[in-house]
Structure 1
Amino acid sequence: MADGINTLRYSDIFFAMYFDGGMSCTHRNHSHVLLYIYSGEMLIEEKGKTTRLHRGDCAFIRKDFSVKMTKQAWNGEQFKAIFLTFTPNFLRGFYNKLEPDSIPKDARRENVSLCKLPSNRPDIVSLFESMTPYFDSGIQPSEELLQLKMVEGMYVLLNTNKNLYASVFDFTDPWKIDILNFLENNYMNDISIEEIANYTGRSLSTFKRDFKKCSTLSPREWLIHRRLEAAHELIQKGERKVSEICFDVGFKNLSHFSKIYKEKYGTPPTRNLQHGMGVEF
């Protein structure tokens, strides 16, 4: 327990959290997660839309760098929830055991990362209520039990919507996430090549191989090129400071940004800005 927050983690797949008061914590989703809210409130922000989850709500959140989750007490109740985190190893093992005929060939990956499951479904209630003894008892569930709960959670998902096959098993060829589409939506974020590979459902070596099919640039070169393009467009408008633009498009160092900007466009960013509204650094 730290700062009033209780967390339980088992085998990196079973995660419970609860805390009181008006505390909140925010993080981005690095793995596919199935969550269930016992009390309190969770806010999920994606592409300008906020979804609120409360007692009895269950949702699947696809791994996505653009999704932000906030957990907080609500209506006098502490925040209390359980998260099932589907690791790549678990997903590959589960997928390999599926009968080929059971996998829908026409499943399509949804455009949104959040799927709220129907409330009060017996299989959902049964799954998550069976986990409540582990909140306060101090008893650690066995590895065998954890695996059973993960499998149960996976079938909860797959029995909800066949399109979730494409979201969950995004490492298979028909459902691999489009690399350039992902980068276009996330180039301004502080994200490593390893993270990009993971988010797009690939190993690092597979990502590098697939990226060569998309661009003659390396992934790092593509990111720099795209950030410079975005910066140039904003600077030409002349409405904002160069320093703000530099950091907003994803660069971390202003002097380095100015140097490579001049190399690409022939003039320093401040000179281009002078043709706009004259805004300085």
Structure 2
Amino acid sequence: MEDRDRTITIQAGQCAFVRRNHRLLMYKNNKGAEPYKGISLTFNRQTLRDFYSKLHAADLPQQVGPLEENVIRISPSPAITSLFQSLTPYFDENIRPTTGVAQLKLQEGIYALLNSSAHFFPVLFDFAEPWKIDILEFLNENYRDDLSLEQIAAYTGRSLATFKRDFKKISSLSPQKWLIKKRLETAYRHLQEEGRKIKDVYMEVGFKNQSHFSTVFKKQYGMAPTEVHAGWQQLEPLRNEI
């Protein structure tokens, strides 16, 4: 897993916890001839609220600070091992567990985390309004990715409605048009200032189709990407002389 400038490797049979509203890049690799298999549990806020409401005050640890890492390795334990072993047959047989079974497994997972470290109490049961990540900072770092508005809203700690409302405060464009404009500006710079090839640029900045890229590029700049690239090639001899 790549978490900005940090790389975390989880081996076969190991387990990790990823914080809510945190985005990372995950590579799923085979182990030798064995195909990759992974099981993940997602604890939504309502499930955690219901669990917390049934805890007694005596069950809560005192003066325990939350863990700071976004990706937390979980030490092997009988509780963790038995949890995932009990889920494996459902995936091997491609059988969807009933709602009741799924809820029980989520509760079992919460108990397993709390038993592994008391530091998970403040991590799991922080019900304050989630921290809102700066929208422009997030989009400037992730504009190349194929994310839906729902995903962007979730990654920035917002509901879709709140994300749209907050976005109107920072741009007169819609989120979709802002992303296209950002991608085109980056593509233009690559073509004009660096002389990059069109086929290498359009996918890198987030477009899936070269024809669509050329159409919106010409609409934005009044010229085709090929013309911008040709202009760079004409000036290249002069750059070399300088």
Q: Pick the TM interval, shorter chain.
A: 0.5 to 0.7
2:124 is aligned with 1:207: no
Query: What's the counterpart of residue 9 of structure 2?
Result: 52
TM-score (norm 1): 0.60
- Find the partner of 1:178 among 120, 127, 134: 134
Bigger radius of gyration among the two: 2
Q: CA deviation at 1:58?
A: 0.7
Between 1:184-193 and 1:131-140, the stretch displaced more is 131-140
Q: How far apart are the structure 2 equivalents of 1:130 and 1:56?
A: 14
Q: How far apart are the structure 1 equivalents of 2:96 and 2:184?
A: 51
Map 1:2-21 → 2, pairs under 5 A: none
Query: Letter of the aligned partner of 1:83 in structure 2?
Result: S
Between 1:191-200 and 1:128-137, the stretch displaced more is 128-137
Distance 1:160 1:128, change over 3 A: farther
Q: How far apart are the structure 1 equivalents of 2:5 and 2:135?
A: 22
Alpha carbons 1:60, 1:115 under 8 Å: kept: yes
Map 1:1-281 → 2, pairs under 5 A: 44-47=1-4, 50-61=7-18, 67-74=25-32, 79-86=36-43, 90-95=44-49, 98=52, 114-117=71-74, 119-131=75-87, 143-155=99-111, 156=113, 159-161=118-120, 164-165=123-124, 173-277=129-233
Alpha carbons 2:191, 2:225 under 8 Å: kept: yes
Q: How far apart are the structure 1 equivalents of 2:216 and 2:96?
A: 54
Distance 1:210 1:77, change over 3 A: same
Distance 1:263 1:143, change over 3 A: closer
| Root-mean-square deviation (Å) | 4.0
Distance 1:163 1:261, change over 3 A: farther
Alpha carbons 1:246, 1:257 under 8 Å: kept: yes
Alpha carbons 1:197, 1:207 under 8 Å: kept: yes
Identify the structure with the greater helix proportion. 2
Runs (5+) with no aligned partner, structure 1: 1-43
Q: How far apart are the structure 2 equivalents of 1:135 and 1:263?
A: 49
Q: CA deviation at 1:84?
A: 1.6
Distance 1:227 1:134, change over 3 A: closer
Q: How far apart are the structure 1 equivalents of 2:94 and 2:190?
A: 55
Alpha carbons 2:66, 2:119 under 8 Å: kept: no
Q: How far apart are the structure 2 equivalents of 1:218 and 1:141?
A: 40
Give the count of matched residue pairs. 223
Runs (5+) with no aligned partner, structure 2: 236-242
Structure 2 SS opposite 1:59? strand
TM-score (norm 2): 0.68
Query: Letter of the aligned partner of 1:218 in structure 2?
Result: S
Over residues 97-151 of structure 1, what are the superposed CA-to-partner deviations in whole Å (9 max), with x where a residue is unaligned? 646x98x9x96985x5x3322x224543453345456567999755334212212
Alpha carbons 2:192, 2:229 under 8 Å: kept: yes
Q: How far apart are the structure 2 equivalents of 1:142 and 1:216?
A: 46
Percent identity between the two aligned chains? 42
Q: CA deviation at 1:212?
A: 1.7
Distance 1:138 1:200, change over 3 A: closer
Structure 2 SS opposite 1:52? coil
